[in-house]
Chain A
Amino acid sequence: MRLRIVAGDWPAALFTGVASAATVSMLLVVSLLLLKGGWGTLSLEFLIAAPKNGMTEGGVFPAIVGTVLLVLVMSLVAVPLGTATAFYLHEYTGLHSRRVEMFRFVIRALAGIPAIVFGLFGLAFFVNFMGGNLDVLGGLEQGPRWGQPNLLWAGMTMALLTLPVVIVTVEESLSAVPREARETSFALGASKLATLRSVVLPQALPGILTAAILAVSRGAGEVAPIMFTGAAYYVPEIPGALTDQFMELGYHLYVMATQSTDVQATAGIQHATAFLLLVLTGALNLSAVLLRARIRARRWR
């Protein structure tokens, strides 16, 4: 219900209104500035070509594909793992047991770790330890195959970073499944597993998709976790395997803004790349939101 603003309310209404306008306009200003700076560079070629001439010309197609693949690998790891963890915490343990409290503490702590620490951890654990040992197991004749930065390790490192978001969001959606729905299922003679599969999971599905959306939003803009674990300075080819390195829009931007010999020469590309990154994360978000809406609609048909 919408209430009319009465006389005494206007200071609060004004303040909250201005705050909202400021928030929205910031995104607008950033987008417009990026669009203005990158306008001359944005073209079809920019979208479908690889960088050339020492990355001062050409496009960012490999970075677009790399970003999408990275987000995909990340989601495929983080969403199932986080969902399973949330089910365990919410469905298979007493809600306030010591063990669960400890789990929650660790998950909160995980959420507070700086992204660069995840990056270094990924390098040490995934690339060197897991990858290195996989190579030893597979024989070293062909040189390192898994023991180097690649798409898989970068995706898994990114998944670690986004895991807390997934767990917390899925848990909330499990809490929202009414107790009556579970009891009805039990009263019909369903086992716990059958109840989880047939009643709880379908009702929690939109929540799981929300978790995926939030994970993508959290992960797609991060550069630090992938710097050492898979992102490449320059690879004109599209990655064809999980063991390939890849370009990524955020990292590409970072490289051109800080590692280039002539930063001014690539200003257009930088603006356009940043704008594209905004559009891409926005589009990923939007598609997940639409998917969730479709699932909700199907349940009510």
Chain B
Amino acid sequence: MTPPGRVHPKIITEDLSVSFGETEALRGVSLRIPGNRVTVLIGPSGCGKTTLLRSLNRLNELTPGAHRTGRILIDGVEIHGPEVDPTELRRRVGMIFQKSNPFPQSIYENVAYGPRLNGVRSRAQLDEVIESSLRVVGLWDEVRGHLRSSALALSGGQQQRLCIARALAVGPEVLLMDEPATALDPAATGRIEDLIYELKSSVTIVMVTHNLQQAARVSDVTAFLYRGRLVEADLTRTMFTSPRMPETEGYITGRFG
């Protein structure tokens, strides 16, 4: 299950199982996610890909009834270890949700949220972080004149890029993306994909998607999950041209899922 390639794994899951009450969402998933690459998780609805994503920043444990066994290592450190503070972890492992969800505040306040949590108080420092984050996502020139107006007035694509800027402002090493472009039109989706491509030089990206063309376009590594199990993980071009497992081939060619 180790994707070939010479890249050092940034994240390793070892025999990871997660259940919610009686429902088993993940069963014994062992996956290595390379650093500074884009890894996509694909599979039919309910296969556990979002649960796997939400395990990596320990967001599942906020859901009542969630139970986990197995380990997750980031840079070799077990993230469930006693010395790991989940809020610290989540500043290193940022997350973008499926539906763009700015806080009902100004554009400025949205991006400033994370840095303020980190104790950044100085006005100049905040201004700087906000400008550079908005520049990275290509939003700066569109919104620089009205940073104080509501983030909810932006278009869907702009809102999603704002959410990415908000996550980047905390300075994460890993970015988790849960179908970040499903709700967007093709042009906005293209911009997000370009952004993902640019971002991977500085962060490790793990993305869930239902869109196989998108997976093939943006990712370096693809992992296919089915019924809570990891079926296969490999370099994306290998996965899409010569998958080893019949389930993977069936899904990729559209025979089920």
Q: Which residues of A does B touch, CB under 8 Å? A: 94-95, 178, 180-181, 183-191, 194, 198-199, 202-203, 299-301
Q: Which residues of B contact A178 (CB under 8 A)?
A: 101
Q: Which residues of A contact B149 (CB under 8 A)?
A: 301
7 A-B pairs whose Cβ atoms sit less than 8 Å apart in the complex: A95-B64, A183-B59, A184-B101, A188-B91, A188-B114, A188-B170, A190-B117
Q: Tell me whether A180 and B114 are in contact (CB under 8 A).
A: no
Q: Tell me whether A187 and B90 are in contact (CB under 8 A).
A: yes
Q: Is B256 engaged at the interface, CB distance under 8 Å to the other chain?
A: no
* Interface size, chain B (Cβ < 8 Å): 27
Known A185-B113, A187-B95, A189-B87; 10 more pairs at CB < 8 Å: A184-B97, A186-B59, A186-B62, A186-B87, A188-B94, A188-B114, A190-B87, A202-B104, A300-B152, A301-B150
Q: Is B167 engaged at the interface, CB distance under 8 Å to the other chain?
A: yes
What separation, in Å, do the CA atoms of A293 and B202 have in the docked complex? 44
Q: Which residues of B contact A198 (CB under 8 A)?
A: 113
Q: Is the interface of B mostly helix, strand, loop or mixed?
A: mixed
What separation, in Å, do the CA atoms of A178 and B104 have in the docked complex? 12
**Which residue of the partner chain, among A180, A187, A299, contacts B99 with CB atoms under 8 Å?**
A180
Q: Tell me whether B101 and A189 are in contact (CB under 8 A).
A: no
Contact mask for chain B residues 58-90; partner A; CB cutoff 8 A; 1 contact, 0 none: 010010100000000000000000000001101
Q: Tell me whether B99 and A189 are in contact (CB under 8 A).
A: no
| Whole-angstrom distance between the Cβ of A294 and the nearest chain B Cβ | 15
Q: Which residues of A contact B167 (CB under 8 A)?
A: 187-188
Q: Tell me whether A189 and B105 are in contact (CB under 8 A).
A: no
Residue on A with the closest CB to B109?
A198
Q: Tell me whether A189 and B103 are in contact (CB under 8 A).
A: no
Q: Tell me whether A186 and B90 are in contact (CB under 8 A).
A: yes
Q: Tell me whether B97 and A180 are in contact (CB under 8 A).
A: yes
Contact mask for chain B residues 138-162; partner A; CB cutoff 8 A; 1 contact, 0 none: 0000000000011010000000000
Q: Which residues of B does A touch, CB under 8 Å? A: 57, 59, 62, 64, 87-88, 90-91, 94-95, 97, 99, 101, 103-105, 113-114, 117-118, 149-150, 152, 163, 166-167, 170
Q: Is the interface of A mostly helix, strand, loop or mixed?
A: helix
Known: A203-B104, A299-B104, A301-B149. A191 touches B87 (CB 8 A): yes
What separation, in Å, do the CA atoms of A194 and B115 have in the docked complex? 13
Q: Which residues of B contact A189 (CB under 8 A)?
A: 87-88, 90-91, 114, 117-118, 170
Q: Tell me whether A199 and B103 are in contact (CB under 8 A).
A: yes
Residue on B with the closest CB to A94?
B64
What separation, in Å, do the CA atoms of A219 and B168 have in the docked complex? 49
Please provide the 9 A-B residue pairs with the shortest distance between their CB atoms, ordered closest to farther: A189-B91, A187-B95, A189-B90, A188-B114, A180-B101, A189-B87, A299-B104, A191-B87, A190-B117
Residue on A with the closest CB to B115?
A188
Q: Tell me whether B104 and A300 are in contact (CB under 8 A).
A: yes
| Whole-angstrom distance between the Cβ of A190 and the nearest chain B Cβ | 5
Q: Which residues of A contact B118 (CB under 8 A)?
A: 189
Q: Which residues of A contact B105 (CB under 8 A)?
A: 202, 299
Q: Tell me whether A194 and B97 are in contact (CB under 8 A).
A: no
What separation, in Å, do the CA atoms of A299 and B116 have in the docked complex? 20
Q: Tell me whether B57 and A187 are in contact (CB under 8 A).
A: yes
| Whole-angstrom distance between the Cβ of A171 and the nearest chain B Cβ | 17
| Whole-angstrom distance between the Cβ of B164 and the nearest chain A Cβ | 12
What separation, in Å, do the CA atoms of A231 and B93 have in the docked complex? 60
